[in-house]
């Protein structure tokens, strides 16, 4: 299967410069211009995360740089939840610059939640330093996705109106305190290991793009929300028929939209799904899938199949479309789409006056970062189970009674997996152990 970049290169949209001179920066910076370029790690093309430090002396953490939420938080040493014990935890007692704020917080995401307290300390991203930055210290985290992700915490890059009341997000402090030269941050997200993914603060490294940058107006100062005028496949309108809103989100790996429209798109794209799951298809069918065309601000952005397909095994692939945006509120539209990190080059500029979050107002049912269904190690293990059972179906079919139990288990798994907006937490925690035990029973019987 071609990489995302290879597919786009065929459409002459990927810069020729990167073909000949892949940009291999780590953490480059320019103190004079107050600009920092920070390397990100790519986890299975689903999550991009990088290193920050908190405290004096610095304590190092891996965080998800997430444009769909606004708060910074990391686990605390006071957290004994399984999802905390598997990650680095901040120890306030070991930082001479930490100040407790004694304010309790709770953050709810699509696939997990955290409860904790606020504190302030020195935050460093590359060469950029913010003193007295307010952040969250998790004291209790839900299991599931937050337990399995490869990063410790989340650094939100959305507008202050989505932040905890009375706090200022990291990017806004970088801007307001003139730690950076320009009120700009940018991402280069690559699925190729030789092209290092990067987040930039204070400007744009122009070696990552060719031609003039296209700036798109933000329609609401909450998420990075823009107006989209159409969505087509093979010349047919499949969404946004009367105009809609789109949220550009680095924190999720799926293209998310209204459930009824996504269901119709999946049926159109995948008439013969694997295990009756319309998101699962044979990888042999990828070349026959259409290119999705998104029109934003008068510019047509092609999304070829390699962008929206993820490979679980040699035979089974996954269509990265998901329903559920009907649960989002206060976005000023009846149809919303979330454009995920399948868009490899993503640039944003803070050009809209921001507002304040009203007391007790929740911006939506879920925050980004892991909403609504990020692909985590557990889900890949489940897909490997699927693949193993499918590959052994002919042999297992001779054991009719046991194969019937396998089908029953798969049916329960599909029902649970379809529940929104909760990721693979339910099927993994409730069915995976039994599923593996059943597979061993059938194989050994």
C-alpha to C-alpha distance for 386 and 159, rounded to whole angstroms: 40
Read off the pLDDT of each residue in 86-110 and give the average, rounded to a whole number: 91
The Cα 279–Cα 321 span in angstroms is 7
Q: Are residues 221 and 193 in the same domain?
A: no
CA angle (266, 268, 269) in 5-degree steps: 65
For residue 397, pLDDT over 70 is answered with: no
Question: Rounded to an integer, what distance in angstroms lies between the CA atom of residue 37 and that of residue 208?
Answer: 12
Domain match, 22 and 45 both: yes
Please tell me the predicted confidence (pLDDT) of residue 105: 92
| Pair (342, 395) in one structural domain | no
pLDDT for residue 355 = 23
What are the φ/ψ torsions at residue 287 (nearest 5 degrees)? -65, -20
Cβ of 85: how many Cβ atoms within 10 Å? 12
Residue 222's pLDDT is 85
Q: Does some domain include residue 245?
A: yes
pLDDT average, residue stretch 114-126: 95
- Given this model, what pLDDT does residue 148 score? 76
Give the pLDDT band of residue 40 (cuts 50, 70, 90). Answer: very high
Residue 74 lies in a domain: yes
Is the pLDDT at 55 greater than 90, yes or no? yes
What's the pLDDT at 357? 23
Asked whether residue 136 falls in the same domain as residue 170, the answer is yes
When mean pLDDT is compared over 15-29, 85-99, 298-312, the highest value belongs to 85-99
User: In this structure, how many other beta carbons lie within 10 angstroms of the beta carbon of residue 167?
Assistant: 22
Q: Which residues of 387-421 are buried (b: 16+ CB within 10 A; e: fewer)?
A: bebbeeeeebeeeeeebeebeebbeebeebbeebb
Place of tokens 């962008």: 307
CATH of the domain at 113: 2.40.70.10
Q: Are 338 and 326 contacting, i.e. CB atoms less than 8 angstroms apart?
A: no
Residue 224 near residue 187 (C-beta atoms within 8 A) = no
Helical ranges in 75-144 per DSSP H: 82-85
- Asked if residue 309 and residue 383 are part of one domain, the reply reads no
Indicate whether 345 and 395 sit together in one domain.
no
Q: What span, in angstroms and rounded, lies between the C-alpha atoms of 441 and 445?
A: 6
- Separation between Cα atoms, residue 208 and residue 228, nearest integer Å: 25
pLDDT tops 60 at residue 410? no
Q: Please say if the pLDDT value at position 33 is more than 90.
A: no
Residue 258 belongs to a domain: yes
Verify that 436 and 316 share a domain, yes or no. Answer: no
Which residues span the domain enclosing 260?
216-349
The reply to whether 355 falls in a domain is no
382: phi then psi, degrees, rounded to nearest 5: -65, -45
Residue 364 lies in a domain: no
Spatial separation of the C-alpha atoms in residues 63 and 59, rounded to whole Å = 13
Yes or no: say if 158 and 171 are a contact pair by the CB < 8 Å rule.
no
Cα 91 to Cα 208: distance, rounded to the nearest angstrom: 38
The catalytic residue among 152, 249, 277, 306 is 249
The band of 424, judged by pLDDT with boundaries at 50, 70 and 90, is very low
Asked if residue 254 lies in contact with residue 369, where contact means CB atoms within 8 angstroms, the answer is no
Do 272 and 322 belong together in one domain?
yes
Assigned domain for 49 exists: yes
**Whether 196 and 60 share a structural domain:** yes
Q: Is residue 206 part of a domain?
A: no
Q: Do 171 and 302 reside in the same domain of the chain?
A: no
The string of pLDDT tens digits covering residues 139-175 is 998 766 777 788 999 999 999 988 998 999 999 999 9
426 in the same domain as 292: no
- 207 falls within a domain: no
Give the C-alpha separation, 336 to 328, whole Å: 8
Domain boundary among 201, 232, 263: 201
pLDDT (0 to 100) of residue 439 = 54
Could you say which of 296, 329, 349 is where a domain stops? 349
Note the pLDDT of residue 201. Answer: 92
Q: Is 364 exposed, middle or buried (0-12, 13-18, 19+ CB in 10 A)?
A: buried
- Is pLDDT above 70 for 379? no
Is 249 noted as a catalytic residue in this protein? yes
Q: How many separate domains does the chain show?
A: 3
Q: Which token pair is 389?
A: 């059972």
190 and 220 together in one domain: no
**Residue at which a domain ends, from 300, 329, 349:** 349
More confident residue, 323 or 209: 323
Checking if the pLDDT of 431 tops 60, the result is no
């Amino acid at each position: 299967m071609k990489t995302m970049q290879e597919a786009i290169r065929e459409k002459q949209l990927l810069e020729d410069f990167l073909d000949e001179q892949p940009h291999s920066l780590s953490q480059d910076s320019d103190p004079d211009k107050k600009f920092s370029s920070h390397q990100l790690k790519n986890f299975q093309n689903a999550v991009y995360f990088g290193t920050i430090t908190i405290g004096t002396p610095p304590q190092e953490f891996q965080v998800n740089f997430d444009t769909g939420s606004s708060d910074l938080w990391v686990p605390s040493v006071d957290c004994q939840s399984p999802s905390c014990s598997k990650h680095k935890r901040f120890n306030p007692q070991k930082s001479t610059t930490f100040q407790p704020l004694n304010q309790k917080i709770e953050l709810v995401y699509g696939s997990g939640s955290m409860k904790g307290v606020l504190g302030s300390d020195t935050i460093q991203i590359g060469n950029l330093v913010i003193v007295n930055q307010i952040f969250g210290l998790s004291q209790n985290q839900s299991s599931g996705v937050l337990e399995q992700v490869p990063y410790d915490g989340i650094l939100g890059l959305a507008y202050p109106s989505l932040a905890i009341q009375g706090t200022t997000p990291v990017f806004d402090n970088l801007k307001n305190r003139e730690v950076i030269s320009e009120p700009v941050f940018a991402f280069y997200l690559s699925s190729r290991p030789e092209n290092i993914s990067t987040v930039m603060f204070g400007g744009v490294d122009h070696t990552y793009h060719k031609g003039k940058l296209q700036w798109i107006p933000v329609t609401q100062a909450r998420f990075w929300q823009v107006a989209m005028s159409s969505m087509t496949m093979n010349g047919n309108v499949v969404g946004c028929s009367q105009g809609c809103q789109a949220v550009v989100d680095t924190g999720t790996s799926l293209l998310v939209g209204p459930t009824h429209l996504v269901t119709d798109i999946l049926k159109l794209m995948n008439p013969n799904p694997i295990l009756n799951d319309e998101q699962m298809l044979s990888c042999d069918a990828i070349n026959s899938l259409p290119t999705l065309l998104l029109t934003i601000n008068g510019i047509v952005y092609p999304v070829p199949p390699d962008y929206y397909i993820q490979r679980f095994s040699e035979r089974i692939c996954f269509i990265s479309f998901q329903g559920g945006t009907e649960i989002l509120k206060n976005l000023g539209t009846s149809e919303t789409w979330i454009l995920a990190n399948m868009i490899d080059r993503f640039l944003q500029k803070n050009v809209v006056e921001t507002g304040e979050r009203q007391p007790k107002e929740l911006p939506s049912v879920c925050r980004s970062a892991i909403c609504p269904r990020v692909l985590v190690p557990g889900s890949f293990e489940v897909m490997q189970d699927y693949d193993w059972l499918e590959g052994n179906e002919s042999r297992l079919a001779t054991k009719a009674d046991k194969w019937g139990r396998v089908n029953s288990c798969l049916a329960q798994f599909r029902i649970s997996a379809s529940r929104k907006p909760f990721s693979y937490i339910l099927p993994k925690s409730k069915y995976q152990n039994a599923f593996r035990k059943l597979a061993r029973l059938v194989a050994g019987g």
